Structure 1
Amino acid sequence: MQVEYEKAKAVFNRIESYRKCPSQDPNYVVIDANREKDLVPTFFVYEDGGEIYYHSFHVSPIPNSLYYDVQTPYGYGGPISTTEDPLFLKRAWNAYSDWSREKKIVVEFVRFHPILENWRFYQGEVFYDRDTVWIDLTTENLMNEYQTRAKRKVRKAIKNDLVVQWVTYEEFFNHFPKVYDEVMNSLQADSFYYFSDAYYKAWQTEKNVHFALCKHEEEVVATVFFYHNGSTMEYHLSAATDLGKELAATSLVIHEAALLGKQLGYKQLHLGGGTNSHTDNPLFFFKSGFSNRRGNFKIGKVIHLQAIYDQMKDEWLEKNGEIANRVLFYRS
């Protein structure tokens, strides 16, 4: 059944940390809803025999219709369960499907977490998308796990007197939006990758987050923030100035984040993947320098109201002449 935030938080806290990722936390889902208008943080919980099935996501109105769709928050999501018993999962899925149709949810799109591999709790269609990179923080000497190119960059940053500071929300967001937007502008990034002031302000009360500034003398050359739960630290958003890129500032921040995560008892630092599925993608190549550990990033979909979905596609084609090759074809 659908539950309110406080109930969702209580249920989420009862689930062991190794079974969940930071972006499934109700706190994160609520924060992420500030990213775009019409995102409604929603929580579905099914309990039976002491076991829990938990699914957190955003519900949004489908443009020009009386219907809705479901998407996971920015990053990763998908359902989690305290058991892999197929009969329990079937009952949970049936309850979720009934709820979805009752709420006029036509279709959903899910990004599963590569470390949790929680697509095994999902009974919709699942597709492999790309590899991601994660660092094993239980390793005794982290630098020994890095590729030569990553070690070289970390040492370069140190040699050039770069310093990483873990700072407060206020200090971090005095710098981050400006640096981040400049980077996105230079990349001519899609609007999806820009964030509003409301989104940034929503992080103000979040405790499961670490804000890093990398400085050269007194100049901020890189800004990165990470969020976490009991066992996983997640690389979220980052940006570096031209000088920061030249001096390998982001490499030093990742190294310092791994040291911090290890000190605080996290098991892994998940860096994510590249901007596409190609193994020669520059971002993936950069991240892979820090670890040979890989996660499979998979996506999922299910169409709850097939007749309505087919009608929407027909009407879209008639009006626009072509259709995007994605399940939420009507969203840019």
Structure 2
Amino acid sequence: MKVLYNPSLSLKVIELNSKENIEGYKILLNSFWSNNIYYNYEYLIYYENDQQNLRYFLLELHGEPIVLMPFFMRRIDSNLKLDNEFYDVITPYGYGGPLFDENVKNYLEYFWNKVDAWYSRNNVVSEFVRFSLRQNSDNYTGNLEHTLTNVRGLILEDQDKQWQNFVPKVRNNFRTAEKNNLSFVAKIGSNISQNDIVEFHSVYIDTMKRNNASEIYFFSLEYFQNLIFSNTQNFSIVFTEKDGVVISTELIIFWKDTMYAFLGGTRGDYFHLRPNDFLRVNIIKLASELKFKYYVLGGGRVDGDGLYKSKKAFFPKDEDPIFYTGRKIINSLVYSQLTQEHTSIKTSFFPAYRLPR
């Protein structure tokens, strides 16, 4: 491993385990990176537990922060008699990896080399990184995998042209929704009320139950209240209503020039009214009014499935960005020992020793 020495650069590793460190992290994120919600403390802390400890890497140039990456340090429990306690690293769910401005991209190689050196000194066996859609995987020192195709659409000033770009099914469904007298409501920033969050949460949880979602997706009402009210300028909640009843909703993240479809849901009894196409078309109109450049809808459960196609119908001509994940083995000997009981199983799960039994 080659780690170049540069006295003007330094890598810090800070645990988010005290009020002082948490407040310092919040100030850092606000001051240098416009409070990107996927890196926000209220967003990250949901995923912390007794087995994984929240920390962050911070690369500084002449004392000024230039690269930030939160991660979880996870203790590895094993029946093997190993000579030390070992760990692995994983970045939080969502769009993550190193956060930086374009003008410091040349320092990524140094960043990853210093990170790898820290891993070696601290008994880290492997690393799993979820990257963002902003090409922040350059110079990654592990293996990159094309994990999921995402839909990201360019928002046009000419909304007539935007309308013509939709596939015909979207336009037809929108017309059906209009005939059903649906209405669109957008609550933005400080206009989001407690009741708006309650309405959103109710529809969201109903959708998760209907889809038999994993337990991790059943976010509590308190989670959304804390996340949104701590960062109101970064959020909007939008609704499709029928006769005053919320039947479809989406929680949207604002960051720089992009709107991100974070989480949403629909009441199953109202699908025939086409509330989802109605909601998305109006979100795109809203994005244009607010001068956003992109709208990210995410991907499907797997590439090319029905969920992906339903999102792609709004931006059929736009190039899809790729959501990459990174996989890295730092200590191959210990990794091999930990995975020995899985040697007969062909799996892409990483790290293999955490394959659910």
The TM-score with structure 2 as length reference comes to 0.79
Q: 1:103-252 maps to which residues of 2 (within 5 A)?
A: 103-114=122-133, 116-141=134-159, 142-167=162-187, 168-203=192-227, 204-207=229-232, 208-252=234-278
Q: Secondary structure at the match of 1:118?
A: coil
Q: Which moved more, 1:145-154 or 1:77-86?
A: 77-86
Find the partner of 2:310 among 266, 286, 307.
286
Conserved in 2, the CA contact under 8 Å of 1:32 and 1:199?
Answer: no
- Aligned counterpart, 2:43: 31
Distance 1:187 1:311 in 2: 38
* 2:18 aligned residue: none
- For residue 321 of structure 2, give the secondary structure of its aligned residue in structure 1: strand
**Mean Cα deviation higher: 118-127 or 45-54:** 45-54
Structure 1: distance between partners of 2:55 and 2:281: 35
TM-aligned CA deviation for residue 289 of structure 1? 0.8
Q: Residues of 2 paired with 1:198 and 1:100: CA distance?
A: 35
Pairing 1:274–2:312 present: no
Per-residue CA distance 1:266-288 (angstroms, 9 max, x = gap): 221100111102x2x11011000
**Aligned-pair distance for 1:170?**
1.5
C-alpha separation in 2, matches of 1:166 and 1:59: 38
CA apart distance, 1:162: 1.3
Name the residue aligned to 2:82: none
- Would the alpha carbon gap of residues 60 and 160 (structure 1) be closer, same or farther in structure 2, given more than 3 Å must change? farther
RMSD: 2.8
1:2 has 2:13 as partner: yes
Shift of 1:301: 1.2
Mean CA deviation greater in 138-147 or 234-243:
138-147
333, 341, 344: which one aligns with 1:307: 333
Q: How far did 1:196 drift?
A: 3.5
Aligned position for 1:79: 98
| C-alpha distance in structure 1 between counterparts of 2:119 and 2:287, whole Å | 38
The 1-side partners of 2:53 and 2:226 are apart by 15
| Counterparts in 2 of 1:87 and 1:259: CA distance versus 1, 3 Å | closer
Q: Distance in 2 between matches of 1:138 and 1:235?
A: 18
1:264 aligns with 2:272: no
295-304 or 6-15, which moves further after superposition? 6-15
Looking at structure 1, the residues matched to 309 and 26 of structure 2 have their Cα atoms a distance apart, in angstroms, of 37
Q: What stretches of structure 1 of length at least 5 have no aligned partner?
A: none
- Which of 1 and 2 has greater Rg? 2
Contact 2:95–2:130 (8 Å) recurs in 1: yes
Structure 2 CA distance for partners of 1:157 and 1:58, relative to 1, 3 Å: farther
Amino acid in structure 1 at the alignment position of 2:73: V
How big is each residue's C-alpha offset from its partner over 1:79-118, in whole Å with a ceiling of 9 and x where there is no partner? 134457787333211211122334433222222223x121
CA shift, 1:126, in A, is 0.3
The change in CA–CA distance for 1:217 and 1:51 in structure 2 (over 3 A counts) is same
User: For the Cα contact (< 8 Å) 1:33–1:40, is it kept in 2?
Assistant: no
Q: Distance in 2 between matches of 1:9 and 1:122?
A: 26
> 2:60 maps to which residue?
47
Equivalent-residue separation in structure 2 for 1:139 and 1:145 (angstroms): 13
Counterpart Cα distance in 2 of 1:154 and 1:136: 20
Distance 1:64 1:164 in 2: 53
**How many residue pairs were aligned?**
321
Question: Once the two structures are aligned, what percentage of the paired residues are identical?
Answer: 23
Separation in 2, partners of 1:250, 1:59: 39
* 5+ residue gaps, structure 2: 1-11, 15-20, 80-84
Whether 1:253 and 2:266 are equivalent positions in the alignment is no
